[in-house]
Amino acid sequence: MKKTDIQLRSRQWFDDDADPGMTALYLERYLNFGLTREELQSQRPIIGIAQTGSDLVPCNRVHVELADRVKQGIRDGGGIPLEFPVHPIQETGRRPTAALDRNLQCLSLTEILHGYPLDGVVLTTGCDKTTPALLMGAASVNLPAIALSGGPMLNGHYLGRCAGSGTVIWEARKRLARGEIDTEAFMQAAAGSAPSAGHCNTMGTALTMNCLAEALGMMLPGCASIPAPYRERAQMAYYTGKRAVQMVWEQLTPDRILTRAAFENAIAVCSALGGSTNAPIHINAIAAHAGVHITLEDWQRCGQRIPQLVNCQPVGEYLGEEFHRAGGVPSVTAELLGAGLLHGDALTVSGRTLEENCRDSRSADRRVIRTVDEPVAAEAGLMVLSGNLFDSAVMKVSAIDGEFRRRYLSDPTSPNVMEGRAIVFDGPEHYHAEIDNPALNIDEECILVMRGAGPKGYPGSAEVVNMQPPTALLEKGVQSLPTIGDGRQSGTSGSPSILNASPEAADGGGLARLRNGDRIRIDLNLRTVDALVPETEWRARDAQLATPANQTWWQQLYRREVSGLDGGAIFESMADYRNIIARTPRH
């Protein structure tokens, strides 16, 4: 397609011969900060920069400076940049949970892209939900879009040891509970894990989702892993801006990239990364907005047998800097492609296929990015489970170690069948109030259950399923108990939990019927989890769960519209609006 064949969308605002009156009206206010009429009527693509960084979002704050390099790239590419803010999301600062705001940021981006004179957009991704939120919005609108990660923080250190984001907190909390460290040491360990600008440096949700944005084809190759302060990060910002302009002329829209093949690639890469348990929620949500039907069964089918190649915390040793130096996503992709485990012909924002992007990449450090033949773990994907407690839930099987299996064996001849006694908590406040209550008699054969923590129940779905054992057990050396819940778990936690149970207890799920002392059986061969309660008694139990009142109107609206975690916790009626760009807004 030649440039002259393309009618830029922004001309309907700034250069409409048929309606000079409206053109003047749109034009004048965009001149008032120094843009010229000549520029705005020069038939150059106008590229938005969706800015997620601010003082409220430290994980993405580097984008405030990176935007200058993006703008220079857009200018050198022949376009005109217009930077704009979207609704902020910061994972650890937003109460009650940042999960409430993913769909809100998606909504804010969608309305901006539709309602303003933009021909393409650079999506500034980073902190957990910012990546899926912006990809969901871009997929719905279908305007040429390219993601730019802000990059992880430098490696953290504390007392000479590597300290990874989040992961160090989960460890230090246990040490604090055992009395091995005091509050001051806890604070210093936490601060040590955040040494620079950037998002979490472990393979938690932020780094996982940025890697998956690259695997989906929505980022330039190599972009996801560059640490925020590295010079390559600002250089990548420049290339991304430049490329965004070309994508407009090529009409390289998200629907050409976000195909079923791309989502299957993302699922496989997630296993290879040892990625976050939040990934299925976000990937399924992006797919829904892209009009591609991806379910948890696709995760089971495409992901479970893929080996884990990346040796990063929380289920490995290293952090973002080593991952980047070992070659990042292109090396992982090349390794999987070589074993025939990906669709190499999937198109990417570079204008080339995944295979063309990554063909020459290979791991520069086999300790950090391993081979398919010598992986960190075989069959590292998420297992999808079901039973009378829920229709679906996911589990990182690689997080279960041998000692753990031994404690729960009901039959020594079936190492994949485990049983335990349920201890049930209605939300994290209940857990914190009761976990050390001796009357509960929690021992090493118990299974901790968290309910009321899903999208409708919490509301928003909270990262609270990775509960630690009572202090008495920690002091005995029992580091973890199995947990089950209808909420999520932090992507920086390596706990072997059964998560994201759907439907949630607040929406009629079986977890609402569970009581303290019920036996629960987990059968990894059959992929089932069941409360061993006679069917008639089970049915007779109350399935109502009391949940907290809404504190804001957004919470009310969110609860009314949100789907279960299995479907991505989306607003289904919002995802039904597809290819919005084809509908020109009225004057």
* Interface pick for ligand FES out of 92, 371, 471, 550 (rule CB under 6 A): 92
Shortest distance in whole angstroms from residue 458 CB to ligand FES: 18
Query: Any idea of the CA torsion for 266, 267, 270, 272, to the nearest 10 degrees?
Result: -100
Choose the contact partner of 62 out of Mg ion, ligand FES, none; CB within 5 to 8 A by kind: none
- 204 or 241: CB nearest Mg ion: 204
| Pairing of the two strands 519-523 and 528-531 | antiparallel
Cis peptide before 96 (omega within 30 of 0): yes
**Contact pattern for ligand FES over residues 147 through 176, marking x by CB under 6 A:** ------------------x-----------
Choose the contact partner of 358 out of ligand FES, Mg ion, none; CB within 5 to 8 A by kind: none
Shortest distance in whole angstroms from residue 200 CB to ligand FES: 3
Contact stretch for ligand FES (CB under 6 A) within 39-47, 73-81, 89-97, 568-576: 89-97
Contact stretch for Mg ion (CB under 5 A) within 47-55, 83-91, 248-256, 407-415: 83-91
> Would the CA dihedral through 514, 517, 521, 522 be positive or negative?
positive
- 146 or 462: CB nearest Mg ion: 462
Residues in contact with ligand FES, counted by CB under 6 A, come to a total of 11
Rounded to whole angstroms, how far apart are CA atoms 215 and 349?
11
Choose the contact partner of 206 out of Mg ion, ligand FES, none; CB within 5 to 8 A by kind: ligand FES
Shortest distance in whole angstroms from residue 536 CB to ligand FES: 46
Shortest distance in whole angstroms from residue 116 CB to ligand FES: 27
How far is residue 148 from each of residues 311, 323, 398, measured CA to CA in Å?
24, 18, 31
Cis peptide before 470 (omega within 30 of 0): no
Q: Is 321 in the site for ligand FES (CB under 6 A)?
A: no
Helix (H) or strand (E) holding 383: strand 382-385
Choose the contact partner of 59 out of Mg ion, ligand FES, none; CB within 5 to 8 A by kind: ligand FES
**Contact pattern for ligand FES over residues 38 through 77, marking x by CB under 6 A:** ---------------------x------------------
Q: Is 490 in the site for Mg ion (CB under 5 A)?
A: yes
Cβ neighbours, 10 Å, residue 227 = 25
Is-contact 503 564, C-beta < 8 A? yes
- 331 or 489: CB nearest Mg ion: 489
DSSP state, 505?
G
Contact stretch for ligand FES (CB under 6 A) within 84-92, 375-383, 393-401, 510-518: 84-92
Rounded to whole angstroms, how far apart are CA atoms 584 and 587?
9
Closest Cα to residue 206, out of 67, 62, 344? 62
| Pairing of the two strands 483-485 and 392-396 | unpaired
Cβ neighbours, 10 Å, residue 414 = 12
Q: Is 500 in the site for Mg ion (CB under 5 A)?
A: no
How far is residue 388 from each of residues 163, 502, 533, measured CA to CA in Å?
40, 11, 10
Q: Is 127 in the site for ligand FES (CB under 6 A)?
A: yes
Q: Is 199 in the site for ligand FES (CB under 6 A)?
A: yes
Contact stretch for ligand FES (CB under 6 A) within 87-95, 224-232, 538-546, 547-555: 87-95
| 391-394: long-range contacts, CB 8 A cutoff, minimum separation 24 | 391/502, 391/503, 391/509, 391/566, 392/296, 392/500, 392/501, 392/502, 392/566, 393/484, 393/498, 393/499, 393/500, 393/501, 393/502, 393/529, 394/277, 394/280, 394/296, 394/299, 394/498, 394/499, 394/500
Cβ neighbours, 10 Å, residue 378 = 11
* Interface pick for ligand FES out of 47, 141, 163, 206 (rule CB under 6 A): 206
* Interface pick for ligand FES out of 119, 128, 264, 504 (rule CB under 6 A): 128
Point out which residues bind Mg ion (CB under 5 A): 91, 128, 205, 490
Point out which residues bind ligand FES (CB under 6 A): 59, 90-92, 127-128, 165, 199-200, 204, 206
